[in-house]
């Protein structure tokens, strides 16, 4: 048991009156976890304190060179009152892989999980009850050491904040319209795509904004070298059902985020006896499959939206209307099963769920 100091807030905020109107990521709970790193001393002073602003030196390296990583996970309220997390160990493993990529010191994964569980326990009344709502968990690390030369910082903060959320996309499970991006790229082979680091998301904003102007929800990212091979959809991993096979881009270029929902989707599909292939997949092949009638379903996977069906793809002048713009049977089954396990409605044969007691 780590020595986590707890300072409770004297001014608790009002909880949302109508949980069915919760948006994504606008509201925060009463407390947060925070821990410092100092070179020579390591991580120290783990504590839970009232939620609020932090003070930073204007020369803090996060503000100049973007040295940071983050994670995204959720706490779910089961009908019987249990509080459930979904594969949280995987998130902290990935946090450390991201840390390694941007030269941030490794975090003790067991301590991080213990801190998270303690924070969720304190904030459990913030976990919403309404259908499709949950408590989004955002662990992150920022470089706080003040310095203007380009090198890894010597001081960091690791924090966890919590946000009660509704659906990520206003469309919910309705299929989204996606613009195949041929101008901007998110990252490249050898870049930081495999790390959950803020710069990847900053790099995505312009494409997303232009897609929005054209009435598209998000973009489909192609590889940065040949602009042919599919990488991700918006902030999610992406799957294509072509004929009887389900194809998702392989992770070996290092430019794709290894999603926990991606991994779970692959394991679940295989447990159903369906063939899943991780390989390079070009947009030309997708268009060809569309033309010959074998492109059945396309969907994104992520923590925030879980499964997000794609109903419409625009690649240059070519328009692909997938499954008549309706949710496909496979997307629906994956969504129902994954969310069923996450909300404790159905049995978890994989041992993915961790109860916060």
Q: State the residues that interact with ligand COI by CB under 6 A.
A: 72, 235-236, 302-305
95 or 304: CB nearest ligand COI: 304
d(CA 145, CA 157): 9
Q: How far is the CB of 258 from ligand COI (least distance, A)?
A: 12
Q: Which residue is nearest to ligand COI (CB)?
A: 302
Contact present, 2 and 118 (Cβ < 8 Å): no
72 or 309: CB nearest ligand COI: 72
Q: How far is the CB of 333 from ligand COI (least distance, A)?
A: 20
3-state helix, strand, coil in the chain (%, to 5): 25, 30, 45
37 or 264: CB nearest ligand COI: 264
Q: If you write DSSP's letter for every residue of 90-120 in order, what string do you get?
A: HHHHHHHHHHHHTTPPPP-HHHHHHHHHHHH
Q: How far is the CB of 23 from ligand COI (least distance, A)?
A: 12
242 or 305: CB nearest ligand COI: 305
230 or 305: CB nearest ligand COI: 305
Contact present, 112 and 95 (Cβ < 8 Å): yes
Q: Which of 203, 252, 215 is nearest to 231 (CA)?
A: 252
Contact present, 256 and 231 (Cβ < 8 Å): yes
d(CA 256, CA 253): 7
Q: How far is the CB of 52 from ligand COI (least distance, A)?
A: 22
204 or 241: CB nearest ligand COI: 204
Using a 10 angstrom Cβ sphere, with 0-12 exposed, 13-18 middle and 19 or more buried, the burial of residue 246 is: buried
Q: How far is the CB of 158 from ligand COI (least distance, A)?
A: 18
Q: How far is the CB of 72 from ligand COI (least distance, A)?
A: 4
d(CA 104, CA 100): 6
Instruction: For residue 78, report the phi and psi dihedrals to the nearest 5 degrees.
Output: -80, 160
């Amino acid at each position: 048991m780590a020595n986590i100091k707890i300072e409770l807030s004297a001014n608790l905020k009002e909880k949302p009156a109508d949980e069915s109107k919760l948006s994504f990521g606008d509201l925060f709970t009463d407390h947060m976890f925070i821990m410092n790193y100092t070179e020579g001393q390591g991580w120290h002073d783990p504590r839970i304190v009232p939620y609020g602003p932090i003070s930073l030196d204007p020369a803090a390296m996060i503000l100049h060179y973007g040295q940071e990583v983050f994670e995204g996970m959720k706490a779910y309220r089961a009908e019987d009152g249990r509080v459930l997390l979904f594969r949280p160990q995987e998130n902290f493993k990935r946090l450390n892989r991201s840390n390694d990529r941007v030269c941030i010191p490794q975090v003790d994964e067991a301590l991080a999980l213990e801190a998270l569980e303690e924070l969720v326990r304190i904030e459990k009344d913030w976990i919403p009850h309404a259908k499709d709502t949950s408590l989004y968990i955002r662990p992150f690390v920022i470089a706080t050491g003040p310095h203007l030369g380009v090198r890894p910082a010597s001081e960091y903060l690791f924090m966890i904040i919590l946000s009660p959320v509704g659906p990520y996309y206003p469309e919910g499970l309705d299929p989204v319209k996606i613009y195949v991006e041929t101008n901007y790229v998110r990252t490249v082979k050898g870049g930081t795509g495999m790390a959950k680091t803020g710069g990847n998301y900053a790099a995505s904003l312009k494409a997303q904004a232009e897609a929005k102007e054209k009435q598209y929800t998000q973009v489909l990212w192609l590889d940065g070298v040949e602009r042919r091979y599919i990488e991700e959809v918006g902030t999610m991993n992406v799957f294509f059902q072509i004929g009887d096979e389900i194809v998702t881009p392989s992770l070996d270029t290092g430019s794709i985020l290894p999603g926990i929902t991606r991994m779970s989707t692959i394991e679940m599909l295989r447990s159903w006896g369906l063939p899943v292939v991780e390989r390079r997949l070009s947009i030309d092949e997708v268009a060809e499959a569309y033309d010959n009638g074998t492109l059945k379903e396309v969907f994104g996977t992520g923590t925030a939206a879980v499964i997000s069906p794609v109903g419409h793809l625009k690649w240059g002048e070519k328009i692909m209307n997938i499954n008549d713009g309706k949710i496909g049977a496979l997307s629906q089954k994956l969504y129902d099963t994954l969310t069923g396990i996450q909300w404790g409605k159905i049995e978890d044969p994989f041992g993915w769920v961790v109860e916060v007691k």
